[in-house]
Chains A and B, each alone.
Chain A
Amino acid sequence: MAGTGTAHLRPAEREHVLRVEGLTVEFAGPERPSLRLGRGALPRARWRSPSGAGRGRPSSREGAQRVQAVSGISFDVCPGETLGLVGESGCGKSTVAKAVMQLVHPVSGSVELAGVDLTRVRGEQLRRLRSRMQLIFQDPISSLNPRRRVGEIVAEPLEIWRVGTPAERAARVDEVLELVGLDPETTRARRPHEFSGGQCQRVSIARAVAIEPSLLICDEPVSALDVSVQAQILNLLEAMKDRYGLTMIFIAHDLAVVRSVSDRVAVMYLGKLCEVGTPERLYESPAHPYTEALLRSVPVPDPSVRPAREPLPGELPSPLDPPSGCRFRTRCPRARDRCAAEEPQMQEVAAGQFVACHFPLVGAATAEQAA
């Protein structure tokens, strides 16, 4: 099976919070053009219901194309670790987050949370396991119910899981609000619209940590915020991690944002992983040409540094018709014939650095190519 391999996974015996193997998620794509109502008709993306009704293969309605949003991804996260997941819009990062939570059901692959494969459990058992994972979304304002008070929003997970007595819950709400830097007295009774984006994101974080999850998934938590507020939220997430020993998956499109919070960084492109490594390795000497392009796109706050010209030309190809072989080859400056014919597999090019590329910028293959 064409896949990006699992060389980067740590041994299964090692304790891990999450271990994802061969995760593939498909959606029913737009109908074939011949069946469209007219030129420019909206593509109808069909998301299968998260209730489990549409488990298995997506509806193979006649004429519907299948889009593979995530194609055989594997990764693991060890206790107390933060995995940074980076890639452009449309590469499938958020789908990975949803598939881990079982909010969309993978077509194949396994998602093990503390040893239990979430793809094989349903109903009440899945619901219980899900409570050990919490999500923080990009848009802090739309992820909070505008009609509810902050106190109620933060208390909701505690109430659903009937944690402690009402008095204990109220104390817990105050405690987490305080922890995220909001004054419980003045914020408890207010509604989300009375807060700025950064403050709403603090409320989301308070809600997420209130029931002390074992895994916190942050999906672009700072992309909608100002740089100054970004730094505040990143510091807060780090502080929460220290306090609760949280394990995190941190999704972003900007490598600079991920750098300071991650223990391991995984770079994703069009549904597959390109490179996995420690931040030290990956930022110092990226092995995948895509990682390098992402690094060169980050604006440097120094006028003496000329911005790189077209660090990455073109756009992400359609996942309806992904390029053969290496999916990045259509935009890759190093692409050769082999890249179209053969899909690269994950290989270790340096200690703690894994790359899926035939001609990586680091390691033995580079020397081979030069020879």
Chain B
Amino acid sequence: MTPARVPLLLEVEGLATTFDSAAGSVRAVDGVWLSLRHRTALGIVGESGCGKTVLARSIMNLLPRRGVHREGRVRLDGRDLTGLSAREMTGVWGVDMAMVFQDPMTSLNPVVRIGRQITESLRFHLGMSKSEAEAEALRLLQSVRIPEPERRLREYPHQLSGGMRQRVTIAIAIACAPKLLFADEPTTALDVTVQAQILDLLDDRRRELGTAMVLVTHDLGVVAGRTDEIAVMYAGQIVEQAPTPVLFAEMRMPYTEALLRSVPRLTDPPHARRSTIPGRPPDLAHPPAGCRFAPRCAYAQERCRTEAPPLLPSGIPGHRFACWYPVGSTEGMTALARNVKDAWPPALDLVAEDRDRRRATAPVGLEINFEAEPTPKGVRG
């Protein structure tokens, strides 16, 4: 997929993470292969419980050791991180890889002043003196556009608003100019206005420092304008991956389509029924046989329930997906039409535009009105 000459920053090969639990072992990440070039931004998208966060933490080796089994390889800039101990990882965290977490209140230490939380890694990793580190911390706070940075350095996290706290965590994450920055739902706890500010800020600082970024989110709207590539995750596996414009224009996996359709839009007509993804992600202690999305999928056929589709290239460079009846293909359209006839609820949900939920009134023929969806390819007919 990637030209061999371009050095890869991150290579993840067959990564699998299993947790021991009372309900049996839970395979939260199940065989993920990923690669990321320098200075690019990758979005990882999926619902809660799809393994996005566990994937990010497995790559960073941030999970507890007890009761967690990790398989596969992680290479960063050619260096194999697989067998490193926690002690060896401290030389990687912050310097090579850093993370911005979802909740800025819990990721900052409430009893330590902002200034010391920033200077800590500068002094530890870069060996700066106290005064050097303080000057650098001030510069970092300015770079994340915090007003009155001198005063903020002496304050505690609770004295800052949520948006300001997230700026501080970004300042901490970029303090040592890491090669790779993970942002795990960095704006989910914030207002939309602040979300836009924080995403802009992450993008600006990352470009300036030449850092690659993995942006983890449940909202396709957030990654649309801010990533080079997107990987869609479902039940611990990558189900579709493509360069961002390709994903939106040529999405094949019904799960990706369903995620996109559920994003609220400013163009939604009033009181229209919203498209949803019925049900919820499977219990990963007992994942369904076959395709894991099949129980919720509008296109699912018998084959999907028995045979898991492999993640295969689509023919478009960089695009791969795992589906037997892809969106927009003849097979997919026939499958959907058959499911509508058989009154398969997810298929009816997909075609039901009327607010009345009663399934009996659903159209028997295939009349799909995709309205303003940007990806109506194939399904027009």
Check: B280 CB closer than 8 A to any chain A CB: yes
Most buried by B among A226, A259, A300, A310: A226
Contacts of A283 in B (CB 8 A): 266
Q: Contacts A260-B268, A311-B196 given; indicate if A227 touches B218 (C-beta within 8 A).
A: yes
Name B residues whose Cβ lies closer than 8 Å to a Cβ of A.
47-49, 113, 154-156, 158-159, 161-164, 191-197, 199-200, 218-222, 224-226, 244-245, 248, 258-260, 262-266, 268-278, 280, 355, 357, 374
Q: Contacts A234-B274, A295-B266 given; indicate if A39 touches B193 (C-beta within 8 A).
A: no
Q: Are A238 and B271 in contact (CB under 8 A)?
A: yes
Q: Are A303 and B276 in contact (CB under 8 A)?
A: no
Set A88, A257, A309: member contacting B193, Cβ < 8 A: A88
Q: Are B158 and A260 in contact (CB under 8 A)?
A: no
Name the distance in Å between A53's Cβ and chain B's nearest Cβ: 28
Q: Contacts A259-B270, A301-B224 given; indicate if A254 touches B264 (C-beta within 8 A).
A: yes
| New contact pairs (17) apart from A231-B276, A297-B192, A303-B224, CB-CB < 8 Å | A40-B155, A90-B161, A227-B263, A228-B218, A254-B192, A254-B264, A255-B192, A256-B265, A260-B270, A279-B270, A295-B266, A299-B192, A301-B265, A307-B199, A311-B193, A313-B197, A315-B161
In the complex, 18 of the A-B residue pairs with CB atoms within 8 angstroms, ordered by the A residue number, are A39-B154, A88-B191, A227-B219, A227-B220, A227-B264, A228-B218, A229-B276, A230-B262, A238-B271, A239-B357, A253-B193, A255-B192, A296-B196, A299-B199, A301-B248, A303-B225, A312-B197, A316-B161
Contacts of A226 in B (CB 8 A): 47-48, 218
Contacts of A229 in B (CB 8 A): 47-48, 276, 280
Q: Contacts A227-B262, A228-B259, A283-B266 given; indicate if A300 touches B225 (C-beta within 8 A).
A: yes
Check: A308 CB closer than 8 A to any chain B CB: yes
Contacts of B49 in A (CB 8 A): 196
Q: Contacts A40-B156, A228-B277 given; indicate if A89 touches B162 (C-beta within 8 A).
A: yes
Check: A7 CB closer than 8 A to any chain B CB: no
The A interface, classified by DSSP as helix, strand, loop or mixed, is: loop
Contacts of A121 in B (CB 8 A): none
With A and B bound together, what is the CA distance between A151 and B196 in angstroms? 41
Name the distance in Å between A228's Cβ and chain B's nearest Cβ: 4
With A and B bound together, what is the CA distance between A227 and B48 in angstroms? 10
Q: Are A299 and B221 in contact (CB under 8 A)?
A: yes
Contacts of B355 in A (CB 8 A): 238-239, 242
With A and B bound together, what is the CA distance between A246 and B185 in angstroms? 34
Name A residues whose Cβ lies closer than 8 Å to a Cβ of B.
39-40, 42, 88-90, 196-198, 226-232, 234-235, 238-239, 242, 253-257, 259-263, 279-280, 283, 293-313, 315-316
Set A42, A89, A231, A311: member contacting B274, Cβ < 8 A: A231
Name the distance in Å between A222's Cβ and chain B's nearest Cβ: 9
Q: Are B264 and A306 in contact (CB under 8 A)?
A: no
A-B contact count (CB 8 A): 163
Set B113, B193, B221, B258: member contacting A300, Cβ < 8 A: B221
In order of increasing CB-CB distance, the 7 nearest A-B pairs are: A299-B221, A231-B274, A256-B264, A307-B225, A301-B221, A231-B276, A228-B277
Q: Are A299 and B219 in contact (CB under 8 A)?
A: yes
Q: Which residue of A lies closest to B264 (CB)?
A: A256
With A and B bound together, what is the CA distance between A238 and B356 in angstroms? 10
Q: Contacts A239-B357, A256-B266, A260-B274 given; indicate if A89 touches B155 (C-beta within 8 A).
A: no
With A and B bound together, what is the CA distance between A39 and B268 in angstroms? 49
Q: Are A227 and B270 in contact (CB under 8 A)?
A: no
Set A198, A230, A238, A307: member contacting B196, Cβ < 8 A: A307
With A and B bound together, what is the CA distance between A280 and B192 in angstroms? 21
Name the distance in Å between A203's Cβ and chain B's nearest Cβ: 15
Contacts of A304 in B (CB 8 A): 245
Q: Are A315 and B268 in contact (CB under 8 A)?
A: no
Contacts of B244 in A (CB 8 A): 303
With A and B bound together, what is the CA distance between A197 and B47 in angstroms? 12
Name the distance in Å between B21's Cβ and chain A's nearest Cβ: 14
Q: Are B191 and A230 in contact (CB under 8 A)?
A: no
With A and B bound together, what is the CA distance between A239 and B163 in angstroms? 35
Q: Contacts A228-B47, A294-B192, A311-B196 given; indicate if A260 touches B269 (C-beta within 8 A).
A: yes
